[in-house]
Amino acid sequence: MGSIRSRQSNPPFRMRVYGLLLFVFLILCAACFPTDLFAAKIVRVGFYENSPKIFTAESGLPAGIFADIIRYIAEKEGWELRFVHGTWSQGLDRLEKGDIDLMPDVAYTEARGKLFSFHSDPALYSWFQVFSRRGSGIRSIPDLDGKRVAVLYRSIQQEIFDRIIRDFGLSVSFVTFSDFESAFQAVANGKADAVLTNRFFGAHHMRAYNLEDTAISFNPTRLFFAAPRDSDPAIPAAIDKHLREMKRNPDSVYFSSLAQWTSSPVFMVIPTWLKSTATLLAFLTLLGGILSFAFKRQADSRAAELTRLFDNAPMGLFFSGRDGTIKRTNAEALRMLGLESADILGEKVEDFIRRSGKRDEKDAVTKESFSSEFHAEGKRKDGTTVPLACIVFPLTPSGKMLGTYTVFQDISLQAANEKRIGSIIRELNRTVSALKKSWEQTVLVLASLSEVRDPYTSGHQRRVARLAAAIACEMGMERRKARQVELAAMIHDIGKIEIPSEILSKPGKLSDIEYRLIQTHPAAGHRILQTIEVPWALAEIIHQHHERMDGSGYPRGLSGSDILMEARIIAVADTVEAMSSHRPYRAGKGIEAALGEVASQRGKGFAPDVADACLRLFREKEFRFDEEPGRIG
Ligand SMILES: [Fe+2]
């Protein structure tokens, strides 16, 4: 009976045993499986300070474009994000060791491609840019020669820029920092001359540190979330999937984050509904970046060439900024002024170049105009001065005046030459003047001799000379030529020196032989004078003074243009004076008879212009001989 009772109580017991076994099994199961089997996937994300891409917000939490993107993806994928703060370098180390699952803001390079795993669609596009203190004068890569450039430690910027610097053959000292804020602060404090960063950080922070962007930008960059090399490929795949979705939607977190964290428009705005268009635009953007880089390289290369030209120019050069201080100079300027760069840079142009004379309004340099050339005095270090010719012109790229170039040249040699030439010219003038006086004295002496030899012609030649000179002036002949006419007239009868005085002073009519003898005096005068060196045709004028325009004169019967103008003038003056004077063989006929002869011979024996000038002098300008016509005989 008891055993039956016992067996009857077994089913509840077995049930309890089975329940216990089930409980133990479940406990064991719970113990054997990971506790997070059903928990959210934890993704550890490194972050560092590089705003606005990623940084620590005032709340202490990560913020920025990369933070917004990964938070959105995590939410969609059900990931639990654990952000791990550090420097950029620490982030890379952690990623390499697998201590974090993602590191944002990593530019793809071949080397990094071997160390890390990258998704396909870039999270951001950027480029590198150099920023410097305002007014530093750093505009192009060659300007960085000898400068200290702050960079982020182990950054791709340093690696690529170092290669560019070596290509240019420049010497640049890199000063490394663990974050960009420290690097920017170093430039602001003067511990570095420029900082190399990405366009996002630079544009976002330059004003806060009183820096300005330079024209030095290069290397279009694609930025990704990098994962450890052997990490779960689902993570990069998920990032790609959501990035593509976000980029197709202009209202997505992606674009709102870019709009929030960047003040500049996003250059890679892809229309959302057409994947092919998006791909095309992305390609064009990348291509544009590459071309931009190529043009920049070309521009930098040109800038380098200009810099070489500036440095090696054969004239002195100063470049002054808008504040008037000298920012750059060249070797020739230093040589001319006997100065070192350190003596000049940061000083005013006026400290070294002092303008000679008064500054003219036209010398003002505006952004549209050059100054006129001016002479100045260069102050040398040893206290001496050097004469300079200078010109100033503005540097106005895009119409904005950035400063001025002062170009100057040592003209001490030129000044010495000018002084020497001036001295030679003065000496020459003295010699010419002395020679002129000498010719004139010779002519006057000859005239005196002539008059001493033939007292009957006393005063004739002098009066003819005065009238001839007056006619020459009346005809508009230049003063020098009129003087030559006057001098020639003063000795026009010098050939009579060879005629016996008895014939010259013979009262009554001359015989044919006597007359022919007298007619030889022009040729005799020519013979006498041709041995005297004078700078005009004195002998020939004397030879022609009895020639007539119609060929009726003597001794050669010349006519028209064969007769020199000086001889034509003397012919008229001689006739007027001779007719109005007394002759040994006749009484003077008077001035009116003489002028009547001139009028009647106008266009025949006498040149019309000479005859007209003579008549005007007497009839309109009251010309009179100074003394009464000489009485010959
Ligand atoms: Fe004569």
Q: Which residues are CB-contacts of 205 (< 8 A; sequence separation ≥ 6)?
A: 51, 180, 181, 184, 211
Range of the domain at 503: 423-619
What is the domain count for the chain?
3
In a domain, 21, yes or no: no
Give pTM, 2 decimals: 0.37
Question: How far is ligand 1, taken at its centre, from the CA of residue 569, in Å?
Answer: 13
Q: Is 575 exposed, middle or buried (0-12, 13-18, 19+ CB in 10 A)?
A: buried
Question: How far is ligand 1, taken at its centre, from the CA of residue 493, in Å?
Answer: 5
Give the residue ranges of DSSP H helices in 454-564.
460-474, 479-490, 501-504, 512-518, 521-529, 538-544
Question: How far is ligand 1, taken at its centre, from the CA of residue 476, in Å?
Answer: 25
Q: Are residues 123 and 236 in the same domain?
A: yes
In a domain, 360, yes or no: yes
Peptide bond into 52 cis (omega under 30): yes
Q: Helix, strand or coil for residue 513?
A: helix
Question: How far is ligand 1, taken at its centre, from the CA of residue 494, in Å?
Answer: 8
Rounded Cα–Cα distance for residues 223 and 522 (Å): 109
370: domain CATH number? 3.30.450.20
Question: How far is ligand 1, taken at its centre, from the CA of residue 184, in Å?
Answer: 103
In a domain, 567, yes or no: yes
Question: How far is ligand 1, taken at its centre, from the CA of residue 631, in Å?
Answer: 16
From 298, 322, 350, give the residue that closes a domain. Answer: 298
Per-residue H/E/C for 136-160: CCCCCHHHHCCCEEEEECCCHHHHH
Question: How far is ligand 1, taken at its centre, from the CA of residue 612, in Å?
Answer: 22
Q: Which residues are CB-contacts of 227 (< 8 A; sequence separation ≥ 6)?
A: 95, 101, 102, 103, 116, 117, 118, 119, 235, 236
Question: How far is ligand 1, taken at its centre, from the CA of residue 545, in Å?
Answer: 7
Q: Are residues 447 and 381 in the same domain?
A: no
Distances, alpha carbon 63 to alpha carbons 51, 70, 93, 208, 508, in Å = 8, 10, 22, 19, 136
Question: How far is ligand 1, taken at its centre, from the CA of residue 622, in Å?
Answer: 25
Distances, alpha carbon 177 to alpha carbons 136, 146, 257, 271, in Å = 21, 19, 27, 39
Distances, alpha carbon 160 to alpha carbons 151, 199, 219, 580, 592, in Å = 11, 15, 8, 108, 107
612: domain CATH number? 1.10.3210.10
Q: Are residues 510 and 373 in the same domain?
A: no
Q: Are residues 481 and 381 in the same domain?
A: no
Rounded Cα–Cα distance for residues 367 and 387 (Å): 27
Q: Which residues are CB-contacts of 420 (< 8 A; sequence separation ≥ 6)?
A: none
CB 502 within 8 A of CB 453: no
In a domain, 143, yes or no: yes
Question: How far is ligand 1, taken at its centre, from the CA of residue 621, in Å?
Answer: 26
**Block means of pLDDT (10 residues each) for the chain, length 633 residues?**
42 50 45 48 92 89 92 93 93 93 90 90 82 85 88 83 79 90 93 89 86 77 89 91 86 83 46 44 58 64 70 82 87 89 88 75 53 78 87 71 82 74 72 68 71 66 92 93 92 84 76 86 88 80 96 95 96 93 72 93 96 95 68 30
Question: How far is ligand 1, taken at its centre, from the CA of residue 520, in Å?
Answer: 10
Question: How far is ligand 1, taken at its centre, from the CA of residue 166, in Å?
Answer: 95
Q: Are residues 147 and 239 in the same domain?
A: yes
Question: How far is ligand 1, taken at its centre, from the CA of residue 512, in Å?
Answer: 17
* Among 288, 284, 287, residue whose Cα is nearest residue 271: 284
Question: How far is ligand 1, taken at its centre, from the CA of residue 496, in Å?
Answer: 8
Question: How far is ligand 1, taken at its centre, from the CA of residue 598, in Å?
Answer: 16
64: domain CATH number? 3.40.190.290
Q: What's the pLDDT score for residue 627?
A: 54
Q: Are residues 289 and 400 in the same domain?
A: no
Dihedral, CA atoms, 317, 320, 325, 330, nearest 10 degrees?
-30
The number of residues in the chain equals: 633
Question: How far is ligand 1, taken at its centre, from the CA of residue 617, in Å?
Answer: 22
332-336 — which CB contacts under 8 Å span 24+ positions?
333/408, 336/378, 336/380, 336/386, 336/388, 336/408, 336/410
Question: How far is ligand 1, taken at its centre, from the CA of residue 475, in Å?
Answer: 22
Give the residue ranges of DSSP H helices in 354-478.
412-453, 460-474
From 265, 298, 331, give the residue that closes a domain. Answer: 298
Q: What's the pLDDT score for residue 455?
A: 58
Q: What's the pLDDT score for residue 4?
A: 38
Rg (CA), the chain: 54
Question: How far is ligand 1, taken at its centre, from the CA of residue 623, in Å?
Answer: 22
Q: Is 110 exposed, middle or buried (0-12, 13-18, 19+ CB in 10 A)?
A: exposed
In a domain, 428, yes or no: yes
CA angle (597 as vertex; 596, 599 as ends), nearest 5: 65
Question: How far is ligand 1, taken at its centre, from the CA of residue 543, in Å?
Answer: 9
In a domain, 270, yes or no: yes
Rounded Cα–Cα distance for residues 276 and 271 (Å): 10
Question: How far is ligand 1, taken at its centre, from the CA of residue 546, in Å?
Answer: 6
Question: How far is ligand 1, taken at its centre, from the CA of residue 232, in Å?
Answer: 130
Question: How far is ligand 1, taken at its centre, from the CA of residue 436, in Å?
Answer: 25
Q: Are residues 398 and 427 in the same domain?
A: no
Question: How far is ligand 1, taken at its centre, from the CA of residue 437, in Å?
Answer: 25
Q: Are residues 221 and 339 in the same domain?
A: no
Q: What's the pLDDT score for residue 255?
A: 83
In a domain, 594, yes or no: yes
Q: Are residues 271 and 317 in the same domain?
A: no
Q: Are residues 287 and 329 in the same domain?
A: no
Q: Are residues 333 and 290 in the same domain?
A: no
Q: Are residues 455 and 533 in the same domain?
A: yes
Question: How far is ligand 1, taken at its centre, from the CA of residue 571, in Å?
Answer: 8
Tokens 């009839």 map to which residue?
619
Question: How far is ligand 1, taken at its centre, from the CA of residue 478, in Å?
Answer: 25
From 377, 410, 443, give the residue that closes a domain. Answer: 410
Question: How far is ligand 1, taken at its centre, from the CA of residue 565, in Å?
Answer: 16
Question: How far is ligand 1, taken at its centre, from the CA of residue 334, in Å?
Answer: 75
In a domain, 15, yes or no: no
**Burial per residue of 138-148, b for 16 or more beta-carbon CB atoms within 10 angstroms, e otherwise:** bbbbbbbeebb
Distances, alpha carbon 582 to alpha carbons 35, 216, 457, 630, in Å = 156, 102, 10, 7
Question: How far is ligand 1, taken at its centre, from the CA of residue 514, in Å?
Answer: 14
